[in-house]
């Protein structure tokens, strides 16, 4: 019986860089990667703008500590916000109150000469002050003393609302409460320049000042 010839086994060779099929495959992978990156880059229309880290009051200087950079997709509306692709102006002040995380509007920033408010310390009822914190927005009410003969307990007129949405900058500590029965606590608020004189006059006349939180505008945080 004649033996059939046995085919010799061939060894598989590792693909070489000279193999045209391998080169084509690598090129396809590179092209798809580049095209994918270009598509993603063109689809990302986000721009960097500044946002408030915490509550910022009108008249306060804006620095890197108060602001953070966020990337948002605003389209044509991006021009209305403070861009973060350039250095923050050294003489930048908030012209309106900013809530935590709020994008900073370009019109809400100006120089010191543009600021129209001043910080004023008011003594208010300690119990009502305990409900406030930095960043709270309050309406300011004044009860002026009635004219009398000075005999007996003082009587007051009002109340009259003299300011709306005043920004609370800080509160005195609970250990700094003043007075005996009628305990008061100092609260610093931002007051429009044209209202400072009248409010100081009311304080000098012994008027009672009451700060009423604006609904939905109270911001929790450090009271100092």
pLDDT tens track for 123-159: 998 888 888 999 999 999 999 988 754 555 678 887 8
- The whole-number average pLDDT for the span 21-41 is 69
Quick one: pLDDT at residue 218?
52
Summarize pLDDT for 167-180 with one digit per residue, the tens: 999 998 655 555 54
Calpha distance 128→141 (Å, rounded): 13
Q: With 90 as the cut, is the pLDDT of residue 10 above it?
A: no
Q: What is the pLDDT of residue 188?
A: 94
What does the pLDDT average to over 184-204? 93
Neighbours of 167 (CB within 10 A): 27
- The predicted structure's pLDDT at residue 172: 83
pLDDT score, position 224:
47
pLDDT number for residue 76 = 76
CB-count burial class (<10 Å; 0-12, 13-18, 19+) for 108: buried
Which residue in 6, 98, 9, 27 sits closest to 61, CA to CA? Answer: 98
| Tokens read off for 205 | 């006349």
Q: Which fold has domain 47-113?
A: Type Iii Antifreeze Protein Isoform Hplc 12 (3.90.1210)
Q: What confidence score (pLDDT) does residue 223 get?
A: 46
Is 24 strand, coil or helix?
Answer: helix
* Tokens describing residue 217: 């505008």
Q: Which pLDDT score is estimated for 71? A: 92
């Amino acid at each position: 019986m004649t033996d059939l010839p046995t085919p010799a086994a061939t060894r598989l060779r590792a693909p070489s860089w000279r193999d045209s099929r391998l080169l084509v495959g690598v090129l396809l992978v590179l092209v798809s990667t580049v095209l994918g990156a270009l598509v993603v880059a063109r689809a990302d229309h986000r721009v960097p703008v500044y946002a408030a880290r915490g509550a910022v009051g009108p008249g306060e200087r804006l620095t890197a500590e108060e602001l953070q950079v966020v990337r948002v997709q605003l389209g044509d509306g991006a021009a209305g916000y403070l861009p973060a692709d350039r250095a923050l102006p050294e003489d930048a002040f908030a012209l309106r109150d900013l809530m935590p995380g709020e994008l900073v509007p370009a019109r809400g920033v100006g120089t010191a000469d543009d600021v129209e408010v001043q910080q004023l310390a008011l003594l208010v009822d300690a119990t009502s002050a305990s409900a406030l914190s930095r960043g709270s927005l309050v309406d300011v009410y004044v009860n002026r003393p009635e004219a009398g003969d000075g005999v007996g307990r003082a009587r007051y007129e009002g109340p009259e609302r003299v300011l709306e949405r005043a920004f609370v900058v800080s509160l005195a500590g609970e250990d700094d409460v003043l007075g005996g029965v009628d305990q008061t606590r100092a609260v610093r608020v931002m007051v429009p320049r044209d209202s400072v004189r009248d409010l100081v006059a009311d304080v000098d006349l012994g008027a009672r000042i009451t700060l009423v939180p604006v609904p939905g505008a109270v911001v929790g945080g450090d009271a100092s």
